[in-house]
Structure 1
């Protein structure tokens, strides 16, 4: 079996090919084609297959992480959406919850008002009403109004229609009837209902999620259809699977049906790769830092399991979305982040990026502004002839010129001081984000290992680790394509949910029977979908989850439901697991309070082949001459002093297990470059992973790394 993982970033498209017959792995990078991501994807697959000596017709699976949906929300250029909604509720999307990031600011941007997903004139009220708590029909649907509204939206040239009625999560009868009318009058238009997208309580979040799904749907559908067509034209006959925000894969058909699940498709791959590598090396507590050309994706992974973000925090660019998302923060900090002096005279870096075109000044493609990559070139941490394996020749003189003309004259600094300043600023941006996701939530980063992912991750991670007090950095075998690697270890995964609101202190036999029946129905739907996707029955794993809260609380937390029928003992276990989840999330719990079940969730996983790395031969060498390439001066800051060190370059492909590289050193490979500063050292594991740690005061590297392992395992 041949599988190809393709992750599209803002600057580069990363690819990895695994030939399971020969147990060979090949990696590749090509510039991203942001005007049409599929061009870079197809070019990359063809070049990678040629490099690997594998015909494109032999590819069985193409596993894809994409930023198409994300970019639509960032650029705010989605579809013109028409909405049918319950009379008197058309302004829910505008009113929201009166919750603002800055409570006392009257000038902050409220995206749901300044850039609504659905314009008010296209939100048309319909007479109908369902009643809580059982969803019975209180006011029948006025079909005449629905037909008039559809004609009005048709005349307004909207691109897509979404139907969001009050309490449809309890009873979708009215939404389905309205959808039937829409498809009868306008067969070619895409039409979604809120009960199909997210059948959960909270009308604003449900309406917003359904509207977001409609907003991104036409372009995502067009992209996926175009990609499938382009793959067919290129001779790629394998199946296309797409990474979802939850960290699970979906078929292209399922991704088209619910494109809102792709909003964090891109960042999720690196998080999965981090957890997989940590499991491989026996390290459970990790902080994933995936630094690419445009952004840095940061996630804290305790106990080897990526966290799913709390529903109260689930949002994309200011719009709430009630879909499962891996808890990952994306900030504008990457190799292409531009350094500049702002209007107040402050030295700043990012979030604006030079991207792939024109890119940093050193690319020689017309970029005039100094970027983070230019700073690394000036300091000697990136060798011009080694970048991307020599495929892209860098021009150091352009980096010097950009930094000198843009920064040095205004800051009264030398070029090296300014370059080092760029790295300090960008590293501090990332350090603040890490602290927000760890220290502010009661997690001590000193007890975690920093996982260096992305093309620029290994260049920055040791400096970043020093900033946050982390003492161990892990650099995987292929750091530059970590997000693509994560695609190869992701399984097919779908969520099926149903609202089922009950107090768990007063559960009757009828309630337990109802919960069991609902779980059985959801499980059956989930397994049917995975069987339809071609998953073998023995490879299907079903996880049952109760989303609970304390009665009167605002949001829910997940509690696992034990296998078997629902009994009084099962209810007690669910309550106990909810208390434990509350303690973990908030640092306290209330065992005397009533627990309320809100939503039943089935997470169905179709297990797919994972990734196996070949074991390295034992080298057990210190600074092996066989891997030495050459020596070149490199600038580091030691004890607050800028110093230039003669620094050896090592070819990572020639390092063996238990080899030790003492800093200062630069370890070179095609997809990335690892910086080992003075007073640090790198040890190679049998899987090819680099463990970069501060040099031990006594003893060898193995002793130092083992002591650090005891903290993060």
Structure 2
């Protein structure tokens, strides 16, 4: 059976299809791109899937799995067009979602926005207090649930037209009976409502983050569920009865049903695929320290991978649309910088680029689809870094004169610059914006970019790579074999994965017998829950791998770090190992540790995963000392960052072999991207087709 990876970006939808030897066409991979349909992503996804099947020459019935990275949930949270949500909460705690933690996003600003107050996920009039009370630390019920109040609130929601409801009671992570009973009552009164409890979405302490995460789940849930179910239905109606899997924010896959229940887990689905793809291609050539920079048409997603590990963000730092979302996410930063980022002169006369994007419609001015504002792509076209007649292998027709006119009218003339100077300014500004983001994800976290290779991908990535590497002092650049579909390829290299949690506050360094037995019981329950979720997806017990973490802190600290729990039965010796692992992680993250201090357990977490078949990427044939004659295409003038213009050769990347060396200046052309090799830089083709671009020493 064949399988397909589909990644939806702001401008293009990228598709990769892998066939196996048992298929009608034999083993191989096929790549494809279609414009993203932002009004309904499923239109572009379906079009791309059907077209890539035709391109590969396989029957639709031969597609066994489709893995999808989507930005549907992300866009809902950013555009603030989610569902109208109602909330039941413990009496006296109605305003937790408004109060938050009194954090000031900008400490010294008198004019700043607090998203959880200015754009609340749940309006105050829809937050209804309910009489009930559970007490810590045992979860003992002090005040029984007032079921009549729950029923009256449900009727009020129904009369108000609200179809999405959350239940968030205090200390429900200790005793979830009140929340689950309230959900039953709501569904009795509102059978078609989208209802979720905080104990089902994130079963952990900290009521504000727990309520906010549950609110986000209900806010994006109805539309996300509609999209996923509609896409699954459309695929079946078009003869593709494949298993549809969705990329989660933590880099694992989940089923459609799971993502409909907890869409909060796919808020960063799109960017996660790129990090996984970058990790896969770097690993082919044993590169372990990389900084991935996924530059598409709308945004740039940046993540730092040290020692071959994909880092999961600390839950305290997970924000989406300005709201805390306490679910596991790959540690990455997204900024509005891409090929479609619009350059403009602001009201104060400042030269700006992004974050506003031209997207795919109308797109950059050169697309001739009605766009009149200059973009980063227009600047690259004007400077000769992209060839107008080679965009998407010549499939995308662009007009370079429109790029010239847009840059001249909107930037050059108002600022008194030449058109070339204005185009170079656009490139320098967007590169500087991305370099700042790279430093915030590396240097600001104690990582030295001088020990890392930069891996730029996405359609616009490799053309900006060398300048970014020079800006942040990275060792060099790795342009993956298929930059434009690296995110889609990453979807075919990841595993089916679920995470489950329980909060239990206790001292670990001097753990009592009672706490030790409690933690043992919780670990057993979590192991079983993770295995049950995978078994529900048809995974055999022998194929399940469990990884367990204790989220710990020093006594008196406000937030915690992950420390791995050794495999096997939880023993007292393992508990001591967890404490040592925490000290080590604290030193890695903060540069110091207190080895004699008391370590406190806050939350237990179990990650259950089932290994998938990795994308088969064949090594290239050896050049055996041969030259570049076969790959040479033609020469054209290209302007580089220092303002000099050189007659620059173009090489066809599909004809490059392992061991080929290219001296700059040069452009390496392929259907989905262009790689830039500036003067005084060189490129070497690796065994698996990565282009290793470094400065001459």
When the two structures are superposed, what TM-score results if normalisation uses the length of structure 1? 0.96
- Give yes or no for the alignment of 1:330 onto 2:331: no
Q: Does the 8 Å contact 2:82/2:223 carry over to 1?
A: yes
Distance in structure 2 (CA, Å) of the matches to 1:193 and 1:63 = 28
Alignment partner of 1:512 is 2:516: yes
Check if 1:451 corresponds to 2:455: yes
The question of 1:412 aligning with 2:416 is answered yes
Matched, 1:3 2:3: yes
C-alpha displacement of 1:695: 2.1
Residue by residue, what CA displacement relative to the aligned partner does 1:465-488 show, whole Å, maximum 9, x if unpaired? 111111310011111111111101
Question: Matched residues in 2 for 1:101 and 1:623: separation?
Answer: 56
Q: How many residues align?
A: 693
Aligned position for 2:566: 562
Distance 1:634 1:56 in 2: 44
1:194 aligns with 2:198: yes
- Name 1:149's counterpart in structure 2: 153
Shift of 1:54: 1.4
Report the secondary structure of 1:637's partner residue: coil
1:402 aligned partner: 406
In the TM superposition, residue 234 of structure 1 has moved relative to its aligned partner by: 1.4
CA gap of 1:246–1:463, structure 2 versus 1, over 3 A, is same
What residue number does 1:50 align with?
54
Distance 1:455 1:620 in 2: 30
Contact 2:446 2:589 (C-alpha < 8 Å) held by counterparts: no
Say yes or no: does 1:13 pair with 2:23.
Answer: no
Partner residue in 2 for 1:674: 675
- Do the aligned partners of residues 159 and 622 (structure 1) sit closer, same or farther apart at CA in structure 2, a change above 3 Å counting? farther
Q: Deviations over 1:640-690 (max 9, x none)?
A: xx2221111111111111001111111111111111111111111111111
1:613-624 matches, cutoff 5 A? 613-621=617-625, 624=628
* Cα distance per residue 1:185-237 (max 9 Å; x no partner): 11111110000000110000000000000000000000001100111111111
- For 1:542, what is the secondary structure of its paired residue? strand
Give yes or no for the alignment of 1:285 onto 2:285.
no
Report the counterpart of residue 646 of structure 1 in structure 2: 647
Q: Is the 8 A contact 1:513 1:566 kept in 2?
A: no
Whole-angstrom distance in 2 between the partners of 1:554 and 1:520? 27
Residues 248-280 of structure 1: CA distance to partner in whole angstroms, max 9, x if unpaired? Answer: 010111111100001100100010111112221
Deviation at 1:619, TM superposition (A): 0.5
1:691 corresponds to? 692
Q: Tell me, what secondary structure is at the counterpart of 2:77?
A: helix
Distance in 2 between residues matched to 1:536 and 1:49, nearest whole Å: 30
Aligned positions of 1:159-308 closer than 5 A: 159-308=163-312
- The equivalent of 1:599 in structure 2 is 603
How far did residue 446 of structure 1 move? 1.0
Secondary structure, counterpart of 1:304 in structure 2: coil
Give the alignment partner of residue 375 of structure 1, picking from 371, 376, 379: 379
SS in 2 for 1:253: helix
1:428 maps to 2:417? no
Correspondence 1:114-125 to 2 at 5 A:
114-125=118-129
Q: Distance in 2 between matches of 1:622 and 1:438?
A: 39
Q: Deviations over 1:477-505 (max 9, x none)?
A: 11111111110111011001111211113
Contact 2:163–2:192 (8 Å) recurs in 1: no
Rounded to whole Å, the distance in 1 between the matches of 2:691 and 2:181 is: 59
8 Å CA contact 1:111–1:319 kept in 2: the answer is yes
CA distance in 2, matches of 1:537, 1:142: 42
Does the Cα contact within 8 Å between 1:620 and 1:660 map onto a contact in 2?
Answer: no
Counterparts in 2 of 1:620 and 1:406: CA distance versus 1, 3 Å: farther
Is the partner of 1:303 in helix, strand or coil? coil
8 A contact 1:311–1:555 mirrored in 2: no
1:339 has 2:314 as partner? no
**Unaligned runs of at least 5 residues, structure 2:** none
Q: Secondary structure at the match of 2:224?
A: helix
Contact map agreement 2:183 2:197 (CA 8 A) in 1: yes
Unmatched 5+ stretches in structure 1: 697-713
- Is the counterpart of residue 389 in structure 1 residue 393 in structure 2? yes
Shift of 1:566: 2.2
Query: 3-state SS of the aligned residue for 2:39?
Result: coil
Spell out, residue by residue over 1:77-96, the C-alpha distance to the aligned partner (whole angstroms, 9 max, x if none): 00000000000100000000
The answer to whether the 8 A contact 2:449-2:475 is kept is no
